Amino acid sequence: MGMEHGERMSRRQVLAAGALTGAGLAGSTLWAPAKASAAAAPAIFYSPHQDDEALGLAGSILEHKAAGRPVYLVLVSKGENDGLAKKMNQDPCPLTIGDSRHPCAAGGHHGLSWPTDGTSMIVPARTAEFMASAKALGVDKVINFKLSDSPYNSDDNYYRFVDAVKAKIKALAKQYPGASHKFTAGWLEETDTHKALADAAYFLMNEGVLTDVRFNYVYAYDKPKAQRANGASYVLNIPSAHMAIKRKAIYCYNAWAPDRNLYALGYHSVPDKMESAHEDPREFVFTIPSRYTPGPIKHWTT
């Protein structure tokens, strides 16, 4: 097929540069963020999980930095994930079984012995990838909400999570008057975590707490290229210099450097999203739909 060659080129680039990035990374816990300029109000970007910022916020982060805005990056959830530990415990890598489209940075062999509670090993390693990505993007501050990724199984759990996110965003809005707030377009995305975050933004806009609010559609890259911009208020065409930096952020999720707690977890979690975001130099910016409906994603109909 016509696409095959191009996709193979892209994978090789991801793997090669991922390895380089891993080799050059400082320990994420040692990184002290640069000082933000005191004058301008920050643009605050909220990444529901470790990886969303690299997939769909990076170009916008760089755009705001280039405009002279301080950029703060919030990691909302801890990113617990039990399926990911099970994948990492396999050898050969399940990404290569019956489908060699996605060789991982470990070369297709890991066979770790991680606990499958979804938390130990997974949360610190995913967060190490996130910190490396944040460093690559040059954000001025990282804020970690450390919320358990728990809006699942009942409406009570869902709204408890919405309320917890809301309280933390509200505190930031108070701390940084005039800030703009950038979320993901949770109503278009697949997970209740993303939807709950958009709900929190929606409620805070209605309460007048947030005024300058945008939503980047970070799961757009699952769709055919021609459909990704449908409904967007603004398509950011990422300049090539910024796209090179966005790709460095993506490579942090396919870097294998266990001594620095980097295990290519992002790539094992969403390999297709990583590849298509890497290929597409665009981001898709939405405003809140006029007929927005809060609640778990299963209730949303377009």
Q: Which one, 119 or 176, has the nearer CB to Zn ion?
A: 119
Q: Which one, 70 or 151, has the nearer CB to Zn ion?
A: 151
Answer yes or no whether residue 126 interacts with Zn ion by CB under 5 A. Answer: no
Closest approach of Cβ 32 to Zn ion, in Å? 27
Closest approach of Cβ 168 to Zn ion, in Å? 17
Answer yes or no whether residue 48 interacts with Zn ion by CB under 5 A. Answer: yes
Q: Which one, 69 or 297, has the nearer CB to Zn ion?
A: 297
Stretch that binds Zn ion, among 28-36, 50-58, 162-170, 195-203 (CB under 5 A): 50-58
Q: Which one, 49 or 242, has the nearer CB to Zn ion?
A: 49
Q: Which one, 112 or 229, has the nearer CB to Zn ion?
A: 112
Closest approach of Cβ 91 to Zn ion, in Å? 9
Question: Can you tell me which of 104, 204, 255, 285 binds Zn ion, judged by CB under 5 A?
Answer: 104
Q: Which one, 52 or 199, has the nearer CB to Zn ion?
A: 52
Q: What are the tokens at 192?
A: 């209740």
Please report where in the chains the tokens 């590849």 appear, as a residue: 275
* Strand bridging mode 180-184 / 262-263: unpaired
Task: Spell out the SS3 assignment of the chain.
Answer: CHHHHHHHHHHHHHHHHHHHHHHHCCCHHHCCCCCCCCCCCCEEEEECCCCHHHHHHHHHHHHHHHCCCCEEEEEEECCCCHHHHHHHCCCCCHHHCCCCCCCCCCCCCCCCCCCCCCCCCHHHHHHHHHHHHHHHHCCCEEEEEEECCCCCCCHHHHHHHHHHHHHHHHHHHHHCCCCEEEEECHHHCCCHHHHHHHHHHHHHHHCCCCCCEEEECCCHHHCCHHHCCCCCCEEEECCHHHHHHHHHHHHHHHCEEHHHCEECHHHHHCHHHHHHHHHCCEEEEECCCCCCCCCCHHHCCC
Closest approach of Cβ 282 to Zn ion, in Å? 19
Q: How many CB atoms lie within 10 A of CB 157?
A: 16
Spatial contact of 92 and 109, defined as CB atoms under 8 Å apart = yes
Stretch 82-101: interaction string toward Zn ion, x if CB under 5 A: -----------x--------
Q: Which one, 109 or 206, has the nearer CB to Zn ion?
A: 109
Q: Which 142-181 residues touch Zn ion, going by CB under 5 A?
A: none
Q: Which one, 28 or 216, has the nearer CB to Zn ion?
A: 216
Question: Can you tell me which of 43, 45, 46, 52 binds Zn ion, judged by CB under 5 A?
Answer: 52
**Total residues at the site for Zn ion (CB under 5 A)?**
5
Closest approach of Cβ 108 to Zn ion, in Å? 6
Stretch that binds Zn ion, among 104-112, 114-122, 140-148, 224-232 (CB under 5 A): 104-112
Answer yes or no whether residue 49 interacts with Zn ion by CB under 5 A. Answer: yes
Binding footprint of Zn ion on the chain (CB under 5 A): 48-49, 52, 93, 104
